[in-house]
């Protein structure tokens, strides 16, 4: 699939005519990144907006104690970096590839031109930023819990809501996440996450199949939502 074919399906450009999007072809640059490769660091923000074409990336922030916390995971079709282009401020985070991926970039000068000439893109951008604000609120809600087990359960429920596939009384979380990455999302250690994941499996609330997490007993997880 070409970059333009992919972008035609992206919510950000959904209201553009084929001719309008074709006229932008020169502004899109596709880049490839290997697993664990850094896409950008804090001091490099404000230069591009990024659109994930293939693969998954994570946004990580380091705490004063040196612990890394995952703020977000972006999948195919997701964008990142646009906020720094809008307010000209850096983002205190590093973005890296969770697996081999392809990223489409738009430079700041082209980004500004697109927004000035296309009100439809501005409306889509506002809707997208509102959705990201809601996702950030979910992260804040999770981190307010003092015990790691409750934080982990809410992380799993949020993943099930955003990435889950319903299979009868089970929900398959359709994204591969390691125990270390869950620990970075929950603000705890990998050892703690491994212990809690084993506990959930013993309680028959979770199982692992083909490296995917499956929540068992859908009524339990629904009732446990905040």
* CA 19/CA 88 separation, integer angstroms: 30
Predicted confidence (pLDDT) at residue 12 exceeds the cutoff of 80: yes
**pLDDT bucket at 125, cuts 50 / 70 / 90:** very high
Report the pLDDT value the prediction gives residue 196, as an integer from 0 to 100: 95
Q: Domain holding 152: CATH number?
A: 1.10.10.10
Give the distance, in angstroms, between the CA of residue 74 and the centroid of all CA atoms in the same chain: 3
pLDDT tier, 143 (very low <50, low <70, confident <90, very high otherwise): confident
Q: What's the chain's length in residues? A: 226
Last residue of a domain, one of 93, 108, 143: 143
| Same domain assignment for residues 8 and 107 | yes
CA distance 117 to 46: 20
Domain boundaries, position 68 = 3-143
Least confident of 90-94, 188-192, 195-199: 90-94
pLDDT by residue (tens digit) across 162-174?
888 888 888 898 8
Q: Is residue 113 located within the same domain as residue 155? A: no
Same domain, 61 and 128: yes
**What mean pLDDT do residues 122-141 have?**
86
pLDDT, tens only, 27-80 = 999 999 999 999 988 777 778 999 999 999 999 887 777 777 888 889 899 999
Alpha-carbon gap, residue 107 to 223, rounded angstroms: 45
CB neighbourhood size of 187 (10 A): 16
Q: Name the domain count of the chain.
A: 2
Model pTM greater than 0.85? no
Percentage of residues of the chain with pLDDT beyond 90: 42
Last residue of a domain, one of 92, 127, 143: 143
| Same domain membership, residue 120 and residue 54 | yes
Q: Which of 113, 143, 173 is the last residue of a domain?
A: 143
At 77-103, the pLDDT tens digits run: 999 999 888 888 877 789 999 999 999
Report the DSSP pairing between strands 68-74 and 57-62: antiparallel
């Amino acid at each position: 699939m070409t970059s333009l074919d992919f972008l035609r399906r992206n919510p950000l450009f959904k209201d553009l005519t084929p001719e309008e999007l074709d006229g932008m072809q020169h502004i899109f640059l596709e880049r490839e990144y290997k697993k664990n490769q850094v896409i950008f660091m804090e001091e490099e923000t404000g230069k591009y907006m990024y659109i994930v074409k293939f693969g998954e990336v994570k946004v990580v922030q380091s705490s004063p104690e040196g612990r890394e916390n995952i703020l977000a995971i972006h999948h195919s079709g997701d964008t990142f970096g646009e906020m720094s282009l809008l307010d000209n401020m850096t983002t205190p985070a590093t973005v890296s590839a969770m697996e081999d991926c392809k990223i489409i970039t738009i430079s700041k000068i082209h980004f500004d031109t697109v927004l000035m000439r296309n009100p439809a893109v501005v409306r889509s951008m506002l809707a997208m930023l509102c959705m990201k604000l809601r996702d950030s609120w979910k992260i804040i809600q999770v981190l307010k819990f003092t015990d790691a087990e409750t934080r982990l359960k809410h992380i799993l429920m949020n993943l099930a809501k955003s990435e889950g596939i319903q299979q009868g009384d089970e929900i398959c979380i359709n994204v591969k996440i390691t125990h270390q990455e869950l620990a970075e999302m929950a603000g705890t250690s990998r050892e703690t996450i491994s212990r809690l994941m084993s506990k959930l499996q013993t309680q028959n609330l979770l199982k692992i199949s083909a490296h995917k997490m499956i929540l068992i007993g859908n009524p339990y997880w629904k009732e446990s939502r905040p």
